[in-house]
């Protein structure tokens, strides 16, 4: 029996064996899924778009998501060996008359009849269009949708006739073994990748010093002269929890991503209407301080953003890269909507973000107004230059709050994930 078949059977067995009752009147289903195996060698950057990935079927409420990189034996790979730059999950509708390969390495989604991407709620939905996932923090900090909420997917009334709802799992990983600088390869520093064109074949600007346009699929980061070039098998393992959708038990939430690089502008159209445009750059460079006391110097970046439609914040966390300290989202009146901090690893993972704090407010206690101006602030250590820095707030927002006590959630505590907890999952 092949390893791929064994893993598929293991996935099915885990799903069948992991149906447990909830204290709130529904059954939680749990599944462990794997992407196909891919090989990595020291310094290589791998980007995979896995179409029609394994995902819960039917009309369901997504309740939890977590992901990690593992080797052929299923052992978790430390980020100092294989760095998970990001892994995100897209939702789409595909015509039953359309055939799309299960693996595409292009970062351009298909532009053909019969393929429709279902975007998250924005405002940067031209850039951040996914539903789940971000970066290294996913291993230690699952996305948890507290009761009585759920991310509603698979609604048959929303799926076009003759189409199926499917999912793309994207994996961007960098093999840091025997590289000349692990942290600079993880930051996609241009000097170490020696690239002149971006992932779309366009020349890089002379002042672009590093970031995702230097470490796209099959780019090679510099390795040591005595590097041991040995291939290793890698998979993304992702954990999901869900329940059958029941509108008497669940309230739907919207998925939003807020980017600290957003340059929001408002202008008046010829017919007199006010239009808002968001320009999210995804990444930026943190410049080193020129002060004498560099070790205690920080870079603070702020931007103003807004959501056309607000609501009640249900869950929030921030995706921050190495060197990041925290990100805070302030309301128009200065109140803190959420403040999330990076959690760093120990031992071989010292210096790598392995988890992050989350915000899980009581239902109705934290609200964002329609069109309310918010300040997104991010703090990075600035003792040296950092390329490809990011700060993306992941927010789950609900239109409604529970009207009865039966709708109220049970107490929820999100703890950083550990290797020990994995062993007893």
Question: In sequence order, what DSSP letters do the residues of 72-100 get, joined into one string?
Answer: TTSPBPPTTTEEEEEEEEEEEEEETT---
Rounded Cα distance, 78 and 179, in Å: 15
What is the pLDDT, as a whole number, of residue 23? Answer: 61
What is the pLDDT, as a whole number, of residue 21? Answer: 66
Rounded Cα distance, 359 and 395, in Å: 9
What is the pLDDT, as a whole number, of residue 88? Answer: 96
Q: Which helix (H) or strand (E) holds 392?
A: strand 391-398
What is the pLDDT, as a whole number, of residue 57? Answer: 96
- Contact status, residue 36 vs residue 103, Cβ threshold 8 Å: yes
What is the pLDDT, as a whole number, of residue 295? Answer: 67
What is the pLDDT, as a whole number, of residue 131? Answer: 94
Q: What is the token pair recorded at 105?
A: 């390495």
What is the pLDDT, as a whole number, of residue 98? Answer: 95
**What are the structural domain ranges in the chain?**
3-244, 252-410
Q: Which helix (H) or strand (E) holds 234?
A: strand 232-244
Mean per-residue pLDDT pooled into runs of 10, the chain (425 residues): 42 51 82 98 97 97 98 98 97 96 84 92 83 96 97 98 98 98 97 94 95 97 92 98 97 97 86 84 92 78 95 98 97 97 97 97 96 97 95 97 62 37 32
Query: Model-level pTM?
Result: 0.88
The domain 252-410: what is its CATH number?
2.60.120
What is the pLDDT, as a whole number, of residue 277? Answer: 85
| DSSP assignment letter at 197 | B
* Other beta carbons less than 10 A from residue 71's beta carbon: 16
Rounded Cα distance, 158 and 165, in Å: 10
If 0-12 CB within 10 Å is exposed, 13-18 middle and 19+ buried, where does residue 243 land?
buried
- Which residues, at least 6 apart from 190, have a Cβ–Cβ distance to it below 8 Å? 204, 208, 209, 210, 214, 387
* Other beta carbons less than 10 A from residue 117's beta carbon: 14
What is the pLDDT, as a whole number, of residue 228? Answer: 87
* Other beta carbons less than 10 A from residue 313's beta carbon: 24
- Which residues, at least 6 apart from 133, have a Cβ–Cβ distance to it below 8 Å? 65, 67, 86, 87, 88, 89, 143, 170
Pairing state between β 251-259 and 149-153:
parallel
Alpha carbon 187 to its chain centroid, in Å, reads: 17
């Amino acid at each position: 029996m092949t390893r791929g078949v064994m893993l598929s059977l293991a996935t099915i067995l885990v799903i069948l064996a992991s149906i447990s009752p909830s204290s709130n009147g529904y059954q939680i289903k749990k599944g462990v899924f794997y992407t196909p195996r891919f090989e990595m060698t020291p310094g290589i950057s791998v980007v995979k778009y896995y179409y029609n990935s394994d995902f819960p079927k039917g009309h369901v409420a997504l309740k939890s998501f977590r992901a990690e990189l593992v080797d052929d034996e299923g052992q978790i790979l430390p980020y100092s060996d294989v760095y998970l730059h990001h892994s995100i999950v897209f939702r789409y509708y595909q015509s039953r008359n359309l055939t799309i390969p299960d693996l595409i390495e292009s970062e351009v989604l298909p532009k053909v009849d019969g393929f429709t991407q279902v975007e998250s709620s924005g405002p940067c939905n031209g850039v951040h269009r996914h539903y789940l996932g971000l970066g290294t923090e996913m291993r230690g900090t699952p996305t948890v949708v507290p009761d009585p909420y759920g991310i509603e997917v698979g609604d048959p009334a929303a799926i076009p006739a003759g189409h199926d709802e499917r999912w793309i799992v994207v994996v961007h990983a960098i093999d840091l073994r025997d590289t000349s600088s692990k942290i600079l390869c993880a930051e996609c520093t241009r000097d170490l990748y020696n690239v002149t064109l971006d992932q779309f074949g366009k020349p890089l600007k002379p002042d672009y010093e590093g970031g995702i346009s230097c470490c796209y699929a099959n780019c090679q980061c510099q390795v040591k002269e005595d590097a041991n070039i040995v291939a290793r098998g890698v998979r993304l393992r992702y954990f999901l929890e869900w329940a059958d959708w029941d509108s008497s038990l669940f309230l739907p939430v919207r998925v939003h991503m807020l980017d600290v690089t957003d340059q929001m502008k408002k202008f008046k159209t010829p017919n007199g209407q006010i239009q808002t445009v968001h320009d999210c750059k995804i990444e930026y460079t943190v410049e080193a301080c020129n002060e004498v006391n560099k070790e205690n110097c920080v870079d603070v970046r702020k931007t103003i953003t807004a959501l056309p439609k607000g609501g009640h914040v249900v869950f929030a966390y921030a995706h921050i890269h190495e060197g990041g300290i925290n990100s805070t989202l302030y309301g128009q009146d200065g109140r803190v909507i959420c403040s999330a901090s990076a959690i760093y690893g120990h031992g071989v993972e010292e210096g790598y973000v392995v988890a992050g704090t989350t915000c899980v407010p009581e239902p109705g206690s934290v609200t964002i107004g329609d069109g309310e101006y918010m300040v997104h602030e991010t703090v990075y250590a600035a003792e040296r230059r950092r390329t490809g820095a990011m700060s993306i707030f992941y927010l789950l927002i609900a239109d409604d709050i529970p009207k009865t006590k039966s709708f109220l959630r049970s107490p929820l505590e999100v703890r950083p994930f550990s290797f020990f907890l994995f062993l007893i999952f």
